[in-house]
Amino acid sequence: MTAFEEMGVLPEIGKAVEEMDWIQHTHVHSIPLILGGGDVLMAAETGSGKTGAFCLPIIQIVWETLKDLEAGKGSKIIAQISPHWTLSFFDRGSALAVTPDGLRCQSREQKEWHGCRCTKGVQGKGKYYFEATVTDEGVCRVGWSTQQASLDLGTDRFGFGFGGTGKKSNNKQFDNYGEAFGMHDVIGCYLDLDIGEIKFSKNGVDLGKAFSIPQQVKSAALYPAVVLKNAEMSFNFGAQPFKHQPESGYIALCEAAKDNVKQNEIGTAGGSSQSKPVKNAPQAIIIEPSRELAEQTYNQIVKFKKHLENPQVRELLVIGGVNVKEQIGALNAGVDIIVGTPGRMEDLISTGHLSLTQCRFFVLDEADGLLKQGYTELIDRLHRQIPKITSDGHRLQMIVCSATLHAFEVKKMAERLMHFPTWVDLKGEDAVPETVHHVVVMVDPQKDNNWQNLRRHIQTDGVHAKDNVRPGNNTAETLSEAVKMLKGEYCVRAINEHKMDRAIIFCRTKLDCDNLEKYLNQVGGGSHSRNNQYSCVCLHGDRKPAERKANLERFKKQEAKFLICTDVAARGLDITGLPFMVNITLPDEKSNYVHRIGRVGRAERMGLAISLVSSVPEKVWYHGEWCSSRGRNCWNTRLTDEGGCCIWYNEPRYLAEIEDHLNVTIQQVEPDLKVPMDEFDGKVTYGQKRQQMGTNYENHVAQMAPAVQELSQLESKTQLFYLKRHFGKMRN
């Protein structure tokens, strides 16, 4: 049995994971929690394997559900409750969900009505009563119908409904009746089979006769029935004390004599289920903050489900920049798990191509990032549209994860949307993995005069093009320009010093990325040079999706040594064994520091992260929504509070904030960029697993051996002592 199987993972999935050479990670602790049906907030360091921790149990549950459906089985719960009067799990509309106890139903479909009938009905004679309570805003209609009736109660001859707008309906005829009802109102539903009459009460007040039941309908059994539009109702068929006692002569439905009770045929042998799987309604929705990350998670799912067959789990990637027609085609063919970015996902939902009615997992990967990107409302909106109880009676599960989950907005969202979530959090605060060695170097143009006589330097961002910057005048603008030039030099120096042949380099803006790309290619002898020591590719929002994808691939295949990117690639990107990363500028969003440096030191391999920090203020571009071109050909170098598109960037302040947030002092190194290795015993090879780990472990065993031996001796002494006392007493 694999370690993963011990956590409840199916052998087929365990095998796939084993083939990926996965050893058990700390983070798999979330797996049993998710398999157990809970909501989980998963906070763990970068590179610790969060993707697997949520994908594995989801794939498993989705597959098991498909298998049950294929075998014609509904929820396992059904068998337990079928002897009772409950709402049917089978005789119901596809968007209507029923709780496991069968006493509450909900539909989050906003445009269509979805209905449901009870597992049993009454026929012949007798007077019967049940209660229905409105438990959420929305529109509902409740009453009685025969098995022949449409689930849209009251729209044919066989159904008799009383609606929240104060109308009764039968055979599509809607007439005023009683009064309107809504949230918390209790509707009493009366059926008198002796005289063939249906009536209702509201909060115990009799509303008078509603219908006479035609003879041909009366000969069939009548079942309690309900139809909802984005609403929820709970039911009491008499197993609990009624809120309002029925008038005399009427009995609770559950007390009906056996001879008068008829089992609902739908869902029992010989019956047919109306709750067929809906093709474009997946069971799991996983939202990712970037296309690259969505694709990465999608690829992991493909690997994990490799050995799962009969039925096949169908996954779909839903991201922008890709032909939407293909995605719609795939949706229509049937999907089970969707991974995507928020924008395209919502487009497909709002146009009806993607349905949320069968969704049982709602996953927000890099949740704090999604919220910071402004998707709070979109997330709330999607959550509102997903039924909180699945069609087979399970509660919707929400899984939220990130390496930086300790953010105020995440906690607020969890309170708002999640159901008693469990925090899986080993550190209790945002932290950097031990495998990431991170240092800063101060770039000080007042101490380091090199910028004054550079023959060749990086093209700067042009912020100071109109300023009088020149060596010697020492203005803030000159020093700022000097920092930009020096950072190009320091970047090349870092590469040379550490003989980097693979690294991610983060810049603040797309323009900075483009400039660095040009510069590295120039230093390396040109982008087409075969001996280019600094071959590089760019990944940022202005590059076309196909180019982004191709560039990432080239970097992964080591056809390019350096990946230069903006924060679009800060989160989640998993590049096996990446040894180095460089921050040309610190991120202003402190959580992104953790994510950026977390591109190295993943899956227990060591990594080095170097951040260049300007000691003086640096004037930089800041194009907000006020900038009509959002930066393209914008040369408005006035400050933002003067209506311009520049700010003074204060890196030492950002550094202090990051240190404060992480509760650490980040080691500073000299401008020669040499990183002292003694702390790591000189045995570190960045990109490789730590050599000393094994040795440490062996030492640890050797150190512990005497203590363990002593413990074992004490244990056997205690047992002997106990046995002597126990049997000694017995003999006496």
Interacting residue ranges for ligand ATP, rule: CB under 6 A: 22-25, 44, 46-52, 403, 572, 574, 576, 598, 602-603
Q: Shortest distance, CB of residue 517 to ligand ATP, whole angstroms? A: 24
Q: Shortest distance, CB of residue 296 to ligand ATP, whole angstroms? A: 7
Nearer to ligand ATP, 22 or 128 (CB): 22
Q: Shortest distance, CB of residue 403 to ligand ATP, whole angstroms? A: 4
Nearer to ligand ATP, 289 or 342 (CB): 289
Sign of the dihedral through C-alpha 442, 443, 449, 450: positive
Beta bridge partners of 647: 620
CA distance 163 to 49: 51
Q: Shortest distance, CB of residue 572 to ligand ATP, whole angstroms? A: 4
Angle of helix 545-556 versus helix 291-304 axis, rounded to 10: 60
CA distance 100 to 471: 76
Provide the 10 A C-beta neighbour count for residue 193.
20
Q: Shortest distance, CB of residue 55 to ligand ATP, whole angstroms? A: 9
Which tokens belong to 353? 């191509």
Q: Is 704 exposed, middle or buried (0-12, 13-18, 19+ CB in 10 A)?
A: exposed
Q: Shortest distance, CB of residue 60 to ligand ATP, whole angstroms? A: 16
Strands 114-118 and 223-229, bridge-based pairing: antiparallel
Nearer to ligand ATP, 576 or 633 (CB): 576
Q: Shortest distance, CB of residue 293 to ligand ATP, whole angstroms? A: 8
Q: Shortest distance, CB of residue 28 to ligand ATP, whole angstroms? A: 6
Query: Which residues does 372 contact at the CB level (< 8 Å), separation at least 6?
Result: 407, 409, 589, 591
Residue-level length of the chain: 732
Q: Shortest distance, CB of residue 465 to ligand ATP, whole angstroms? A: 38
Instruction: Provide the b/e sequence for 381-393 (b: ≥16 CB within 10 Å).
Output: ebbebbbbbbbbb
Nearer to ligand ATP, 437 or 619 (CB): 437
Nearer to ligand ATP, 281 or 401 (CB): 401
Q: Shortest distance, CB of residue 571 to ligand ATP, whole angstroms? A: 6
Nearer to ligand ATP, 430 or 461 (CB): 430
CA distance 65 to 695: 46
Nearer to ligand ATP, 330 or 603 (CB): 603
Nearer to ligand ATP, 403 or 565 (CB): 403
Nearer to ligand ATP, 38 or 433 (CB): 433
CA distance 398 to 413: 11
> Running DSSP on this structure, what letter comes out for residue 639?
B
Nearer to ligand ATP, 301 or 584 (CB): 301
SS3 449: helix
CA distance 142 to 225: 6
CA distance 2 to 648: 55
Nearer to ligand ATP, 108 or 595 (CB): 595
Sign of the dihedral through C-alpha 45, 48, 53, 55: positive
Beta bridge partners of 114: 228
Q: Shortest distance, CB of residue 689 to ligand ATP, whole angstroms? A: 10
Nearer to ligand ATP, 366 or 514 (CB): 366
Beta bridge partners of 227: 115, 141
- Structure-token match 């990465």, residue found: 296
Q: Shortest distance, CB of residue 460 to ligand ATP, whole angstroms? A: 31
Nearer to ligand ATP, 19 or 64 (CB): 19
Residue-by-residue DSSP string for 11-44:
HHHHHHHHHTTPPP-GGGGHHHHHHTT--EEEE-
Q: Is 513 exposed, middle or buried (0-12, 13-18, 19+ CB in 10 A)?
A: buried
State which amino acid sits at residue 407. Answer: A
State which amino acid sits at residue 317. Answer: L
- Measured CA to CA in angstroms, residue 284 lies from 114, 280, 314 at distances of 21, 12, 11
CA distance 670 to 442: 8
CA distance 682 to 15: 37
Instruction: Name the closest residue to ligand ATP (Cβ).
Output: 49
Nearer to ligand ATP, 117 or 602 (CB): 602
Nearer to ligand ATP, 51 or 614 (CB): 51
First to last CA, the chain: 48
Nearer to ligand ATP, 40 or 97 (CB): 40
- Measured CA to CA in angstroms, residue 169 lies from 132, 165, 177, 259 at distances of 17, 11, 9, 29
- For residue 584, how far is the Cα from the chain centroid? 31
Nearer to ligand ATP, 334 or 577 (CB): 577
Beta bridge partners of 340: 287, 318
Q: Shortest distance, CB of residue 650 to ligand ATP, whole angstroms? A: 27
Q: Shortest distance, CB of residue 569 to ligand ATP, whole angstroms? A: 11
Q: Do 52 and 28 touch, CB atoms closer than 8 A? A: yes
Residue 59, H or E segment: helix 50-70
Nearer to ligand ATP, 430 or 588 (CB): 430
- Structure-token match 């095998």, residue found: 15
Q: Shortest distance, CB of residue 565 to ligand ATP, whole angstroms? A: 14
Pick from 585, 590, 599, 580: nearest CA to 513: 585
Sign of the dihedral through C-alpha 617, 619, 623, 624: positive
Q: Shortest distance, CB of residue 453 to ligand ATP, whole angstroms? A: 41
Q: Shortest distance, CB of residue 24 to ligand ATP, whole angstroms? A: 5
Provide the 10 A C-beta neighbour count for residue 668.
12
- Phi, psi (5° rounding) for residue 654? -60, -40
Q: Shortest distance, CB of residue 241 to ligand ATP, whole angstroms? A: 51
Which tokens belong to 618? 């640096």
CA distance 17 to 216: 61
